[in-house]
């Protein structure tokens, strides 16, 4: 029995190396941009962070399939200092069999936010090459779109009516003011005419007076 356990433990790394290699069936590449995302608060990538990644992937697979996955089902290879690596998920029932790509992609997309949060990253700084996050369902507005459009149209019509009423009132005031000014000008002209006429009637013509005096003599 002990010999079998030792044999299995020795066989697992070999199987992992065979299953996990670039462009192998079911293999995915991961790129992390920790420095870009966190700047001076960036943390160092180490074996503990890798263990966290495996645990997060095991959670995502368990959450999606309902089966119990563990970190031993997440095989990692080709790790680089710039924090990139490849991984393959194996079946909990048979560690030598990789899980189908459809299941892995669906599990990652479903738990993408939880995986990102574990590393304080986002979709752009924790990249699963070839796997895209599930788009969030569109938020349905509380007010129906047709009612919004109707309100906009009614608002425009109301604004047009108010504009017409205001412009009509302003135009009436303008005309009234113009008539008042014209009437005032006419009154001033009439007063000046009357004053000029009264002055002419009061002028004493000395020429006729002198002629009358010489005639009498």
Task: List the chain domain ranges.
Answer: 10-128, 145-201
Tell me the pLDDT tens digit for each residue of 187-217: 777 766 766 665 555 555 555 555 555 555 5
Residue 120 near residue 42, CB atoms below 8 Å:
no
- The pLDDT value recorded for residue 212 is 54
How distant, in Å, are the alpha carbons of 10, 130, 172, 179 from that of 166?
Answer: 91, 62, 10, 20
Question: Which one, of 71, 69, 52, 77, lies nearest residue 103 by Cα?
Answer: 69
Higher per-residue pLDDT: 140 or 84: 84
What confidence score (pLDDT) does residue 9 get?
40
pLDDT tens string 94-122: 989 999 999 999 999 999 999 999 999 99
Q: What is the CA radius of gyration of the chain?
A: 48
Nearest C-alpha neighbor of 126 from the set 111, 136, 141: 111
Residue range 120-169, pLDDT digits in tens? 999 999 999 988 766 554 556 667 787 888 889 999 998 989 988 888 88
**pLDDT at residue 112, as a whole number:** 94
State the pLDDT at residue 98.
94
Residue pair 158/71 in contact by the 8 Å Cβ criterion: no
How far apart CA 192 and CA 184 sit, in angstroms, is 12
Q: What is the pLDDT of residue 141?
A: 62
| pLDDT tens digits for range 26-64 | 899 999 999 999 999 999 999 999 999 999 999 999 999
Question: CA 210 from chain center: how many Å?
Answer: 105
Q: What is the pTM of this model?
A: 0.56
Mean pLDDT across 159-185: 85
Closest listed residue to residue 110, CA positions, set 134, 128, 137, 74: 134
């Amino acid at each position: 029995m002990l010999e079998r356990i030792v044999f299995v433990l020795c066989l697992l790394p070999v199987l992992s190396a065979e299953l996990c290699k670039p462009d192998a069936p079911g293999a995915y590449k991961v790129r992390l941009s920790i420095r870009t995302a966190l700047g001076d608060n960036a943390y160092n990538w180490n074996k503990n962070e890798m263990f966290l990644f495996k645990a997060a992937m095991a959670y995502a697979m368990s959450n999606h399939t309902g089966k119990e996955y563990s970190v031993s089902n997440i095989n990692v290879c080709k790790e680089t200092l710039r924090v990139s690596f490849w991984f393959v998920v194996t079946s909990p029932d048979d560690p030598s069999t990789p899980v189908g790509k459809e299941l892995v992609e669906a599990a990652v997309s479903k738990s993408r936010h939880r995986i990102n949060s574990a590393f304080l990253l986002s979709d752009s700084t924790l990249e699963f090459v070839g796997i895209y996050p599930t788009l969030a369902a569109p938020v349905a507005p509380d007010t129906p779109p047709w009612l919004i459009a109707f309100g906009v149209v009614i608002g425009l019509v109301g604004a047009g009516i108010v504009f017409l009423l205001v412009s009509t009132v302003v135009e009436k005031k303008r005309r009234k003011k113009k008539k008042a000014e014209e009437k005032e000008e006419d009154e001033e002209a009439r007063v000046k005419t009357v004053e000029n006429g009264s002055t002419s009637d009061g002028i004493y013509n000395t020429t006729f007076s002198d002629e009358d005096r010489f005639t009498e003599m």
